Structure 1
């Protein structure tokens, strides 16, 4: 079994373990000698070995830069990534805490403004540490650039071809794609661009007392920094105090790093559209019908405002 082989590689053959997540990657909690770790068996075909090694190198740099993220654990050979029975495997430090919330459910937290101030600060620190890090020559991650968002084969699918779109929505989304591409072409040279997490949704921000921890770097890569801010905001649009949460997030970011948010509405729409593409090959999965409709409705609402 891949887990047992992996534990031997990391010198943890006497450890106990149990499965804690299996939605994308399989994640096991490993306990040994009073310490805990997260062992990941990566889903086949999603990332190349080079991409995963790059992800782990970046997480290591971010952890050493002072952020609270899962730190990759090397084996005796010094490698972060190993292949066992054709499965890509790594081991990360274990982080305590609980997700700040769940997508699609009301946000339940006492000091909401402080929470979003903190998220903004951590996001800015992530971008700052990443800019200071010298990338390895063989670093390889995806790009959430104009082509990755709006090109002929976007990273998360051709949202304008979602088969459940009505004729009116399809026409609007095709027009939307062209308009967003034109605007992004005009803006991209002026926008802050670099390594981003790309998926800072509620489930990927763990709260442990006053500590905010960023997890799940599966979709990280190069991108516009506004994309990270838009990802967090998009999942909180329905909160009754959304304007206050938005201002707190931006203020937290600005407390650590300069920010021009004049194109934020564009990136909210870009981020919304990615989910309409992402869900296409998951439409047969349980619960996807409701998610798909929610993604389309959100994008339509933002698009109508954007298109005027």
Structure 2
């Protein structure tokens, strides 16, 4: 299927292809004599062609807006027809994007405070650019309904949230949802296109002289959401999870991230009180992801783990 998709593009003879991973999309590395690309074959029933076309159009426009900023983004590669995606079977499609160089860094493994500040600046640059881009129809919405109700979730769960959560976890899920809804109402003018999965695993760092260069990948969940919420997936990484226990350096890392963000875009101090709840919302929202078709063989166990992380988030220092 990947080779059939790749045949729709102008690739030179001798092009090599290898599977890198299979999750919500199957990712293949495509290597020619002078370039590398990522070929994405999308899971059936998860994203429509309209979703993916809107994502790729936004990624193209964001790349144009950030040209010269030092931020590296994948660039969509048009097929021979000029379309940004190709349909490879019924209800399944693929696209080709350029490769983003760099390595994933984590606290204790090369991610210093200077790099964290650069990550904050990069996210602020993307948010500034988003305000001047009119997105195409098809991007998902990440409002409170989308994050906390089965019917509206862009994750398209096949299990109802009540089927995978214990009564105690469901009560906490609903409480976090209510608190998130109130925060979003308070931050009503802070909505636009967000990455929605700005985590260390989707950030490629490389050294250019004495500076860090940031590359950002995996815009598969980008959509209309709250800019303040977009900070929270990365804050969860800096707090120590899901990879390990609480990181005692979290307050310094959080401050460095926000300092970097504020170097480019306002982030009033009063917004910081919302961060623990929105970090909890990130984990609670992922219960609906684990309820999706063939996403997890153990959705109830995964949802319980996510709710444990949500409760930990609520206890984090502000």
**Bin of the TM-score, shorter chain as denominator length:** 0.7 to 0.9
Q: Which residue in 1 is equivalent to 2:221?
A: 219
Q: Which residue in 2 is equivalent to 1:104?
A: none
Indicate the SS of the match to 1:79: coil
Q: Which residue in 1 is equivalent to 2:243?
A: none
Which of 93, 100, 117 is the matching residue for 1:95?
100
Q: 1:24 to 1:160 in 2, by over 3 A?
A: closer
Q: Which residue in 1 is equivalent to 2:5?
A: 6
For structure 2, the 5+ residue unaligned runs are 240-245
Indicate the SS of the match to 1:68: coil
Count residues in correspondence.
295
Q: Which residue in 2 is equivalent to 1:279?
A: 290
Q: Which residue in 1 is equivalent to 2:126?
A: 126
Indicate the SS of the match to 2:173: helix
Instruction: Give the whole-Å Cα distance in 2 for the aligned partners of 1:36 and 1:168.
Output: 48
Matched, 1:26 2:26: yes
Q: Which residue in 2 is equivalent to 1:208?
A: 206
Q: 1:12 to 1:258 in 2, by over 3 A?
A: same
Instruction: Give the whole-Å Cα distance in 2 for the aligned partners of 1:42 and 1:171.
Output: 34
For structure 1, the 5+ residue unaligned runs are 102-106
**RMSD, aligned CA:** 2.7
Q: 1:160 to 1:37 in 2, by over 3 A?
A: closer
Question: Deviation per CA, 1:6-63, whole angstroms, max 9, x where unpaired?
Answer: 2221122621211111122111111223211111111111111111111001111122
TM-score (norm 2): 0.83
Instruction: Give the whole-Å Cα distance in 2 for the aligned partners of 1:179 and 1:94.
Output: 39
Q: Which residue in 1 is equivalent to 2:139?
A: 141
Farther-moved stretch of structure 1 (119-128 vs 254-263)? 254-263
Contact 1:36 1:94 (C-alpha < 8 Å) held by counterparts? yes
Q: 1:133 to 1:287 in 2, by over 3 A?
A: same
Q: Which residue in 1 is equivalent to 2:249?
A: 241
Q: 1:212 to 1:163 in 2, by over 3 A?
A: same
Question: Deviation per CA, 1:236-273, whole angstroms, max 9, x where unpaired?
Answer: 22222000111111111111111232432332222121
Instruction: Give the whole-Å Cα distance in 1 for the aligned partners of 2:40 and 2:295.
Output: 26
TM-score (norm 1): 0.85
